[in-house]
Amino acid sequence: MKKTILTGDRPTGALHLGHYVGSLRKRVELQNTGEYNQFILIADLQALTDNAENPEKIRQNIMEVMLDYLAVGLDPEKSTFVIQSTQPALLELPMYYSNLVTMARLERNPTIKTEIQLRNFQRDIPVGFMTYPISQAADITAFNANLVPVGNDQLPMIEQTRDIVSAFNRIYKTNVLVEPKAIIPDNESASRLMGTDGNAKMSKSLNNYIQLKEESEVLKKKIMGMFTDPNHLRVEDPGQVEGNPVFTYLDVFSTEELFKKYCADYANLEEMKDHYRRGGLGDVKVKRLLNDVLQDILAPIRERRKYYEERKPEIIDILKDGAAKARMITDEVLDNVRSAIGINYFNDKSFFETYIDKK
C-alpha cells in the first residue's frame, strides 16, 4: 500500500524562501515520485490560535497559500489540498488526545517556547495556542500519515505526536493510530533558513523574509540590502563565510549548474568562498550572484502564480474536492478512535447488553 504524507502551513501570509527550502521543495519532489498519497493541510484552525481577533487575515491568506502551492509545482492531480476546519475529526480528536498530554510536556516544547517569546506572551497565552501541538497531532494522525516533511522547528511536534500515538494505542489496547516520521532536509541551513538580517529564522514577524511571489525588483533590493560579515568593511579585508547569510543562501540555492551559468570567475562556490576569506572580494559581487541565482529559481514560480491568479474559481473547486476526499479518511479514523475508547455507544452492541437484564 502507498504510504501517506501529511504536511501543512498556517495561512497567515504568503509563503517565503524558508518554507520553500524547508518543506515545499521536498513536497514537490515526493509528489512527483508517484509513490505516496500526499495531503497538504491549510491549517486555518492553528492560525486562529494566535489570531482569534483577526479571522479576516486567515480568510485572505488561504488563497495566497494555495497560489504559492500551485506556483511551486504542487499539482492538484497528484496532491490533495485540505482546509483544516473542513474536517470535524480535527476538532474532536484533540479533546481525546489532550487527556494523554501533561502541562509539563507542553511547556517543555522548544518550538512553543520560542514562539511564546517571539509573541511576547506571558501568562496571557491563549490556551488554544499552548495546546496546538495536540491539535497538530490530530492533523497528522487523522490522515494515518506515515511521513511528515517539515523544517527543523517542527520536529518537537512530530515527537509529541508519536508520544500521543504510543500512549493512545497502549492505553486503549489498539493499533488504530499510525506513528509518523518526520522528513527533514539533509542540508542543515535549508532545514532552518536564516533571515536576510542574519537572524536564526526567516519569518514574517521579523521582517527578514523573501517571499516566493516577490517581484523581480523587490527581490533584488532585498538581496542587495542583506546583512553580511560586519567586519568585512573594505573589499581588501578578509571576510567570514560562516554565518554570513549571503553565502548561506548560496549554499542552499546555488547548484553547480546555476553557479556555472552566472559566475565565470571561479570554478565553484568553494573557490569563491576562499577568495572572500582571503580578502579582495566585495559583498556586492557576491550579492549579484545570489540575485542571479534566486531570480532564476523564482521567475518560473512567479509566472505559474500569475497563471493561477487568473483561475481562482478552479482553486475553490480544488479545495472543495480536497475537503470531500479527506473527510472519508478523517471520519473513519475518528470513528476508530471513538470505538477504541469505547464511546461509540450506538454502534456498540455490547453497550446495550450491559443495561439489559440477562434472564
Site residues (vs ligand TRP, CB under 6 A): 6-10, 41, 43, 46, 136, 139-140, 148, 150, 154
Looking at beta carbons only, is 24 or 286 nearer to ligand TRP?
24
Q: Tell me the β-bridge partners of 147.
A: 5, 181
In whole angstroms, the minimum distance from the beta carbon of 341 to ligand TRP comes to 23
In whole angstroms, the minimum distance from the beta carbon of 146 to ligand TRP comes to 12
- 3-state DSSP assignment of residue 174: coil
Cell output for 305: 502564480
Helices (H), the chain: 17-19, 25-33, 44-48, 55-72, 89-97, 103-108, 110-118, 127-130, 132-142, 155-171, 188-191, 216-224, 245-253, 256-262, 269-278, 283-309, 312-341, 349-355
Looking at beta carbons only, is 6 or 293 nearer to ligand TRP?
6
Residue nearest to ligand TRP (CB): 43
In whole angstroms, the minimum distance from the beta carbon of 353 to ligand TRP comes to 40
In whole angstroms, the minimum distance from the beta carbon of 31 to ligand TRP comes to 15
In whole angstroms, the minimum distance from the beta carbon of 8 to ligand TRP comes to 4
Q: How far apart are CA 132 and CA 150, in angstroms?
A: 16
Looking at beta carbons only, is 28 or 43 nearer to ligand TRP?
43
Answer whether 100's CB lies under 8 Å from 164's CB.
yes
Looking at beta carbons only, is 180 or 239 nearer to ligand TRP?
180
Looking at beta carbons only, is 148 or 334 nearer to ligand TRP?
148
In whole angstroms, the minimum distance from the beta carbon of 51 to ligand TRP comes to 13
Q: How far apart are CA 346 and CA 92, in angstroms?
A: 18
Looking at beta carbons only, is 11 or 245 nearer to ligand TRP?
11
**Any idea what DSSP says for residue 358?**
P
Closest alpha carbon to 68 in 310, 324, 306, 295: 306
